[in-house]
Amino acid sequence: MKSSNSRRNFIKTASVGTLASMALSLPQIVSAAVAENGIKKISIDKNDIILFQGDSITDWGRDHSKTIPNDTGSLGTGYVLLASGQLLIKYPENNLQIYNKGISGNKVYQLAERWDIDALSINPTVLSIHIGVNDFWHTLTSGYTGTIDTYIADYHTLLDRTKKALPNVKLVVCEPFAVKAVKAVDDKWYPTFDQFRKAAKDIANEYNAAFVPYQAAFDKALELAPGTYWTLDGVHPSIAGEALMAKTWMESIGER
């Protein structure tokens, strides 16, 4: 009986140790992805107005008829909601106002078409932009004829316009990402798509913005689980992928 109890205790201890090790792995992966990019941090200050902008990955089912901040319907059910929850629980005294104005399918020029209403009129003090996957993907699937040069030029124009209207805004540029060999993402994406990723990082550096290295985070996450665990189709994140994005976003701006 004593031997049997000892064995059960050993198995229980080993299992707990394994789970603890796995629990530490994801934060370590995110920290490593952020650290190796050597990126700028921003601060979250009292009365900050935080705006998330982008395409479907940001939109993620939000109610477009709602314009109120800090509302589940307005924020959607993706990484924006998860990051917003972390911000609000970390800074209950800061009176943060958080908005999501992502729209599915958008490319940079489509952000520009709605920028006055969906960005500048909100007067954000923190502006996070995740855009670029459609600027490439739609050249394969939807007849879009834009190139990497189009993406760079459109992005510069958008940020120049933003800085002119909001000179003190704290910018966060998120890296477009894809997980290869999961449904939509195949060899046709490369090496061209990597140019869009590099362009986003270069633009972040040019505009002294925080940079969220999503590709590095997803690449490292593949050491823990396959791509189908983190993403639904190689582009859109699963629940686990949303959590990974939110944690990487928080880490990238300097908030843990």
160 carries an active-site annotation = no
Banded model confidence at residue 3, pLDDT cuts 50, 70, 90: very low
- Tokens for 225, please give them: 């689980």
Record the pTM.
Answer: 0.89
Quick: pLDDT tens for 195-248.
999 999 999 999 999 999 999 999 999 999 999 999 999 999 999 999 999 999
pLDDT tens sequence across 140-161 = 999 999 999 999 999 999 999 9
- What domains can be seen in the chain, in order of their start residue? 2-253 (3.40.50.1110)
Residue 36: the pLDDT is 79
Could you give the CA distance from residue 78 to residue 61 in angstroms, rounded to a whole number? 8
Structure token pair of residue 33 = 């992805």
Segment 109-118 shows an average pLDDT of 98
Specify whether 56 is catalytic.
yes
Active-site residue (options: 63, 194, 202, 233): 233
Catalytic site residue 65? no
Contacts of range 84-88, beta carbons closer than 8 Å, 24 or more positions apart? 84/50, 86/246, 86/250, 86/255, 87/44, 87/50, 87/250, 87/255
Catalytic residue, candidates 56, 74, 128, 252: 56
Q: Which of 118, 128, 135, 236 is an active site residue?
A: 236
Angle, helices 192-206 vs 148-165, to 10°: value is 20
